[in-house]
Structure 1
Amino acid sequence: MAEFTVSLSRNSAEAVWGESAKLSFTESGAIIHLPDDKLNERLIQQAARKLDGLSLPAVTLSGDWHKEQQWAFALSFTRARKPASIKWAETADKEALEQEYSALLFTRQLVNETPEDLSPETLATRAAQWLKSLGGDKVTYSMTVGEDLKEQGWIGIYNVGRGSERPPAMLVLDYNPTGNADAPVDAVLVGKGITFDSGGYSIKSSEGMLDMKCDMGGAATVTGALGLSISQGSEKRIQLILCCAENLISGHAYKLGDVLTYKNGVTVEVVNTDAEGRLVLADGLMAATETGAPLIIDAATLTGAAVVALGSDYHGVFSLDDNAREQMLKAAKAENERFWPLPLEDFHAERCPSAFADTANSRPMKGGGGGGASNAAGFLSRFVKPEGWVHLDLAAAYHGGATSEMPVGATAKGIRSIARMLKDFSA
C-alpha cells in the first residue's frame, strides 16, 4: 500500500477545495495550508482531526516540519480506538519525537482502558512493567495490597478502596541509575490512581460517572513522564508512588462521618466520599516526604473546580514554594504545554473545618464550594513538606467528547513538562 503523506505549505489551496481552505488533497496524501510562518498548531490540530476521521491506518509526515508542529499533529491525529501509526519527518527531532510519542501512547492507552480490565493492582502492575521494560535493572519496585495497607498505616488508600472486591494497591517504584543503593532520591512523583470513581455513598450521577475510568489519569501521567525521562537517559534517582483504588459502594465501603487517622497524626472527617483523591494522595505524599527528595510532584484529576476555572485546556499548578512553582511553569512553557497557576496559601489548609477531626476532606456542599481546587491543595499541604512540592490538578487530562482539535479520551498532556521539570529542577 502506498504511503499517505501529509505536508505543510505556505501557499493557498486551489479554489476547488473551497474559499480559504486549510486542507487539500493530492494523489498521494494531503497538504495543510498555513497562512504565515508561525507554528499554527491549532490549525494543524484541526486538519489532523479531519484526517483522523478518514480512518487511515498510517501517515507519513513529509517536508519541512517544526518539532512542535509534528507534536501538535500527533496529539490530534491519535484517536482512542485503533490509532493510526505516524512516520515522523526526517528531521533532527525524530528520535526525541519517537520517545515522546511512545510515552504518549502508553499514557493514553492506560487512561482509556475499560475499568473492568484495569483493577488497582493491574494499574500498578502495568505501570511497573512498562517502566521496567525501559529501565531494566535500574528499576525496582514493591506493591502493598489490601489489608497490608491497613497494617502498614496507609489508611487513605485502604479506606477509599475497601468497598471494592478488588483490593487497593500502593506502588513504590525506584529508578536508580546511579548503581548506589544509598544515593539520595532526587525527585518523587505521586499519582492518583482511582481506576473507577462511583463517588461512593456521595454517589455521582450516571452522566458524571461515565468518564470516571479516567480518574487514574494522574497515575498514568506521572508514569508516562517517568518513562519519558528514562528514555531520555535521565541520570537522576527518581521514585514513583501510585495510590490505586476503586471507589465503590458496598457493605464494606467507607462512609460519611468516618474519621481517618493518618500516619502523621492528622485526623480527617469524611464529609464527602467523592472527595477521595486527596485521601489517597495524602498517603503518597507522606511516603514521598520520607525520602527527603528536594522535588515532589503529585498529579491528579482531582477537582471539578479546576475544570470550571481552566476548562479542558490547562492543567492547574499549585505550590507553597514560589521557586518550585515558577520552575514548573517554565518547564511547561519550554514544552509548549498549557499550565496555569492557581492560588494556594497556608490558610487554605484550614478551609475544610471539622468539629470532629483536625480537618474534613471537603466542605459539605456541592463541588466543595467556592475555591474547591485551592482547598483541595490546602488539604494535601498537611501531608507534605512545602519546599519543592508541586501539585498538579489535571483539568486537561481527558475529553469526554471529541472536539475540532482533540479526539475523545485521554490527552497525555503534561508528560513532557513533568519530564522537563525532572531534568531541569534546582532547589
Structure 2
Amino acid sequence: MSLNLSLLRALPSDIDTDALIVAVFEDQGLSPAARQLDEASAGRISALLKSGDISGKAGRSTLLLAVEGIRAPRIVLLGMGEAAKVDSGKYLKAAAESLRSLRGGPVARVHSTLPQIEVIGRDDAWKLRQAALAAFHVSYTYTATKKSARISSLTTLSLDGDAAHADQLRLATGIAEGVTLARELGNLPPNICNPAYLAETAQKIAAANDSVSLEVLETEQMRELGMGSLLAVGQGSANPPRLIVLRYNGAGEGVKPQVLVGKGITFDTGGISIKPGPGMDEMKFDMCGAASVLGTFLSAVRLGLKINLVTIAAAVENMPDGASYRPGDVLTSMSGKTIEVLNTDAEGRLILCDALTYAQRFEPDTLIDVATLTGACVIALGKHAHGLMSRDDALAAELLAAGEASHDRAWRMPVWDDYQPMLDSSAADMANIGGKSAGAVTAACFLARFTEDTQRWAHLDIAGTAWDEGRKGMATGRPVGLLVEWLMGRQQSSAA
C-alpha cells in the first residue's frame, strides 16, 4: 500500500496535479473551489451548469478535460445535492466515488477540495481523515492470486486543509494499514489462508515491532488447557488449529489491557451439518473476525497508542471427516462447562467460548469478541450495521459512539437473561443453538456464559458487514475503523 498524502491550500486553478475534485450543489450551485475555477475559466463551469450539462444532484459527476485557464488537465465536478443536507454518508460516498471514477485513467496525482465543504455534525479533522481513508480504500487492489488485476494508478493525494490538521493524515495511514491487512486476509483463498498462515502473519507483525510479543498455542497445548470445545471444531480438518496471542505494551506495567478476541474459521463447510453448495465459497470470509482484530492490533501498534492491548485469534478450519465432531456430541469447554452440539454449523461460538475463557488470564479492562457469527444478524441488520450485544451500558455507548465517529456503525441488540432458557439442554450445561428465533441474540447469550467474570464485555456480530456478497464480493476490513476509534478513546480515558 503506497499512497503519499499531503495538505495543500492554494487556488485550485493554479495547482499542478493530474486531476482536481470539486463539488457542485443542486441548490446553491458552485462550491468555493468550483467558483474559483469558474472565474479562472471565464465562466465555463457556470455556463455548463446553466445549460444542464453539469448537474449538482447527489451522485452525478462530470469529467472536464483541458479547461482553459486551469492548470490541471482534468476536473471532476461532483454533484452533492443540497448544500445544507450533506451528511457523513453522502460525503464518504462522494470521496470514494470521485476517486473511483479516475481509477482506470492515467491519473497518479489528485487534489481534492471536498474537505472544504460543510458536512452535518463533522469538523475539518474528520473530513480530512475520512477523505484520506476513502483514498486508501479505493486504491487497494487484491493481487495475491489475480495477476490480471488492474492496479490503481493513484500514488499521490493532496487535500484542501490546514497544516494544523496534519496529524489526521498520520492517523488515516495507520488505520488504513490495519484495514488493508484485514481485507487482504479475508480475500485470500482458504487453501492459502489457513490457521498456520494466520499464525505466520502474526509472527511478521511481532518480528517488525519491539513492543509486540507473540505466543501461538498448538493442539497439544490447547488440549492441556482443556479447550475441548475449540479442538472439537477443528478435529475433522487436515489443518490443525492455532490460538494466536499478540500482546502490545503501549501503556507500561500495571495498566489493564484491552483484549480483542476474533473468530478465525478459515473455511466453514458447516461440518457434518454441511452447508448448501451455492455460496459456500464465501465461507472463506468466516475468519474475518480474526482478520479484523489482527488489523486493529496492527493499527494500534503503527499509531503508537498508549494502551496495553492483547489480541487473540482463534484460527480453526471446520471440515467434515471421519474424525469430525457431530450433532449429539457433548463437549467440555476450557471453563469446565459442557455443551451439547445440536448443529456443527454453529461452530464459531464453540471456538470463541474457549478463547474467551483463555482471555480471562490477562485480567482485561475490557473484553470484546468479533465474529461473523450468525446469518440471523444479516437478516436483522443487513449489510450496513454490525450487531452489538453487551450487558454493560457504558461500554455499549462507547462502541456505538466510536461507530458513529468513524462511520463504521453498529446497532445494539439485547443480550437479556430472558433468552438464556432457549439454550437449555437435557444432556449438558447448555446447547450450542437456541432454536429458530432470535439466533443472533441467543448466540451472544451463549458467549455471555463464558464472560461472567468480566463486566466490560461486548460482542460484535459482523456476519453482514465483513464482506460484500456475491461472486465478486470482497472483504470490507470492517470493523477495524470502529475498533481503532474506540481504542483511541480508551487511550484518552486512561490518560485522564
1:296 correspondence with 2:367: yes
Determine which of 76, 93, 115 is the counterpart of 2:190: 115
More displaced stretch, 207-216 vs 20-29: 20-29
Q: Which residue of 2 aligns with 1:231?
A: 302
Task: Give the letter aligned to residue 23 of structure 2.
Answer: S
Question: In 2, distance between residues paired with 1:58 and 1:339?
Answer: 35
Structure with larger Rg: 2
1:395-406 aligned at under 5 Å gives the runs: 395-401=464-470
More displaced stretch, 74-83 vs 263-272: 74-83
By how many angstroms is 1:190 displaced? 0.2
1:196 correspondence with 2:259: no
Q: Is the 1:198–1:247 Cα contact (8 Å) retained in structure 2? A: yes
Q: Which residue of 2 aligns with 1:99?
A: 174
Determine which of 145, 148, 155 is the counterpart of 2:221: 148
Deviation sequence 1:20-76 (CA, Å, 0-9, x none): 572111334451232325252364167358527737785634334332344345445
By how many angstroms is 1:303 displaced? 0.4
More displaced stretch, 29-38 vs 154-163: 29-38
More displaced stretch, 327-336 vs 278-287: 327-336
Q: Is the 1:197–1:215 Cα contact (8 Å) retained in structure 2? A: yes
By how many angstroms is 1:95 displaced? 1.9
Question: In 2, distance between residues paired with 1:324 and 1:19?
Answer: 41
Q: Which residue of 2 aligns with 1:412?
A: 477
- Runs (4 or more) in structure 1 with deviation over 6 Å come to none
Q: Is the 2:206–2:214 Cα contact (8 Å) retained in structure 1? A: no
Gapped runs of 5+ residues in structure 2?
Answer: 1-15, 31-44, 66-72, 116-126, 144-148
More displaced stretch, 250-259 vs 143-152: 143-152
What SS does the corresponding residue of 1:205 show, helix, strand or coil?
coil
Deviation sequence 1:233-284 (CA, Å, 0-9, x none): 2121111111000100111111111111112221001111100000000011
1:382 correspondence with 2:432: no
More displaced stretch, 69-78 vs 91-100: 69-78
Q: Which residue of 1 aligns with 2:392?
A: 321
What SS does the corresponding residue of 2:315 show, helix, strand or coil?
strand
Question: In 1, distance between residues paired with 2:328 and 2:345?
Answer: 13
TM-score by length of 2: 0.77
Q: Which residue of 2 aligns with 1:174?
A: 247
Q: Which residue of 2 aligns with 1:9?
A: 23
Deviation sequence 1:374-405 (CA, Å, 0-9, x none): 00000001111341101000121111239xxx
Q: Assess, with a 3 A threshold, how the Cα gap between structure 1 residues 317 and 152 changes in structure 2: closer, same or farther.
A: same
Gapped runs of 5+ residues in structure 1?
Answer: none
Identity of aligned residues (%): 31
Deviation sequence 1:80-139 (CA, Å, 0-9, x none): 455524533244332222222222211111110011001111112213423542xx1211
Q: Is the 1:80–1:408 Cα contact (8 Å) retained in structure 2? A: no
1:337 correspondence with 2:408: yes
Task: Give the letter aligned to residue 399 of structure 1.
Answer: D
Question: In 2, distance between residues paired with 1:421 and 1:16?
Answer: 44
Q: Which residue of 1 aligns with 2:12?
A: none
Task: Give the letter aligned to residue 133 of structure 2.
Answer: W
Q: Which residue of 2 aligns with 1:25?
A: 63
Question: In 2, distance between residues paired with 1:230 and 1:246?
Answer: 28
Determine which of 75, 80, 89 is the counterpart of 1:34: 80
Q: Which residue of 1 aligns with 2:352?
A: 281
Task: Give the letter aligned to residue 9 of structure 1.
Answer: A
Q: Which residue of 1 aligns with 2:440?
A: 373
TM-score by length of 1: 0.89
Query: Which structure would you say has the larger RCO, counting Cα contacts within 8 Å and 6 or more residues apart?
Result: 1
Question: In 2, distance between residues paired with 1:55 and 1:258?
Answer: 58
Q: Assess, with a 3 A threshold, how the Cα gap between structure 1 residues 227 and 148 changes in structure 2: closer, same or farther.
A: same
Q: Which residue of 2 aligns with 1:62?
A: 112
